[in-house]
Structure formats: C-alpha cells, structure tokens
A and B are shown apart, each in its own frame.
Chain A
C-alpha cells in the first residue's frame, strides 16, 4: 500500500500544494465525562453511501462537499463507495469496511461497555476537496449541528 513517500512526484507535489488552510490554534472542547458514558459518532471521508442515496459526484470541480448519513444499523457489507482520490485504492476497504469506517469495531466496544453507545447515525464525506469553502462554511457545520441535535459526546474521524 502506498504511503506519502511512496507516491509519485506529481501526487506528492499535489498534496504539498493542496490548499490546506494553515491555522495557528486549535478549537478545544475536552471530554468532561468517562469514556464509558459517551455517545460516539463516526465521521469519515471514505466516500461511503447507502443504497438509495445519491453517490458522491467525482466530477465536481473543486470536490464534492456534501455528506451522507449512514445509519448505525446498516450491515456494513451493504455500504457503497464513490471516491475521486487518485491515491486511494478502495479494494482493501471493499474487503473490510472497518479498515476505513470501523463500525463493527465500535459495536464491539459498545458491547464490552467501553463506550456507552453509538449514535443512531454516522456521517460520510468524500474528501479530495480542493475548494473547501462550502465544506468549511456549510456542510461541516451542518454535520456539527446534527451531532449536537443527537447529543453526541465524541466524534471519531477517519480519513482515507
């Protein structure tokens, strides 16, 4: 599998030149309860969507900033993937979705009482967004608001 240093010159350069905004500080909302009292939601940029939902638009200039709700009750074998990244090969994810979206692993933590519960929904973006304005101003805050509505304590985020 490719790591950053294994990438070709062009891809390494693209990532280096990617318009990631530079921040000087971090927001901080520390956890104020024990982990076994927390409700957790998973957020991924793996491009997952469910049958019946619109796939992500891999042709959209600047990237698709939209998101899909993933039901906590889904059978992970039923998840579909649409991703525009040139450096992400989803074949291993198709073998085991937990590689990117560790829903079954978190169900196991819930069964063991290590976390209190999983939220009834999780959220999937596609990533590979070179023009993130809509993401920063609209879709990411929308997801944040939905997580507040759901009384989620912790968001666990995984990239590809």
Chain B
C-alpha cells in the first residue's frame, strides 16, 4: 500500500515480498517474491553476496517492460 502511494505520484517503485499471496492482492507495480522467512527479505545476515543477488534481481524488474503488476519469483533456491 505504501508502494502504491509512492508510484501514484510518479516515482518508480520496486519491492520484495515474503508472502506472495499478499502481493497478488495489493498488486504493487513491481515485486520480487523471495523464498525466505519473515524478517529475512535479503536472505541471510552477513551474506553480502546473497543480499546483492536479491537486490540485483529486484532492480532488474525496473527494466521489465511488461505492464504492471509485475510479480516475479526470485531465481534463488533455498
């Protein structure tokens, strides 16, 4: 809902979700669904490589030209 409000004023947004069903309901414009537990949107503490992979996948959605809502599953497997 915060994401929708920001996109509404003309700013491009991208987010991470831990609960895909919630994203399907709220339909933020660009969402990366990650296979991690609550409190772990970037994967693991002190794992910069994994955190950068998640960020890179999410930022990649900015270059996706499909019409929103864009909901992609992360390629990372746990």
Q: Indicate the member of A95, A99, A152 with the most B CB atoms within 10 Å.
A: A99
The CA-CA distance from A140 to B8 in the complex, in Å, is: 11
Residue from A6, A35, A99, A135 in contact with B1 in the complex, judged by beta carbons closer than 8 Å:
A135
> Given A29-B12, A31-B12, A96-B45, do A143 and B5 touch, yes or no (CB 8 Å)?
yes
Closest to A24 in B: B27
Chain A interface extent, by class: 35 or more
State whether A20 touches B52 (Cβ < 8 A): no
Interchain pairs with CB closer than 8 A, number: 188
The CA-CA distance from A18 to B23 in the complex, in Å, is: 13
The CA-CA distance from A152 to B8 in the complex, in Å, is: 14
Q: Tell me the smallest distance from the CB of B74 to a CB of chain A, in Å.
A: 13
> Given A4-B18, A25-B27, A26-B68, do A105 and B52 touch, yes or no (CB 8 Å)?
yes
Let me know if A28 is at the binding interface, CB within 8 A: yes
Q: Tell me the smallest distance from the CB of A106 to a CB of chain B, in Å.
A: 7
State whether B29 touches A99 (Cβ < 8 A): no
Residue from B6, B7, B48, B69 in contact with A143 in the complex, judged by beta carbons closer than 8 Å:
B6
Closest to A125 in B: B2
By a CB distance below 8 angstroms, the chain B residues around A92 are: 39-40, 44-45
Interface residues of B (CB under 8 A from A): 1-19, 21-22, 25-29, 35-46, 48, 51-52, 55, 58-59, 62-63, 65, 67-69
By a CB distance below 8 angstroms, the chain A residues around B21 are: 4, 16
Q: Which 4 pairs of residues, A with B, have the shortest CB-CB distance?
A: A1-B37, A96-B45, A140-B5, A157-B15
By a CB distance below 8 angstroms, the chain A residues around B51 are: 98-99, 102, 105
By a CB distance below 8 angstroms, the chain A residues around B19 are: 4, 15
> Given A92-B40, A93-B39, A147-B11, do A159 and B5 touch, yes or no (CB 8 Å)?
no
State whether B39 touches A100 (Cβ < 8 A): yes
> Given A24-B27, A99-B42, A156-B58, do A3 and B2 touch, yes or no (CB 8 Å)?
no
State whether B6 touches A155 (Cβ < 8 A): yes
State whether B42 touches A156 (Cβ < 8 A): no
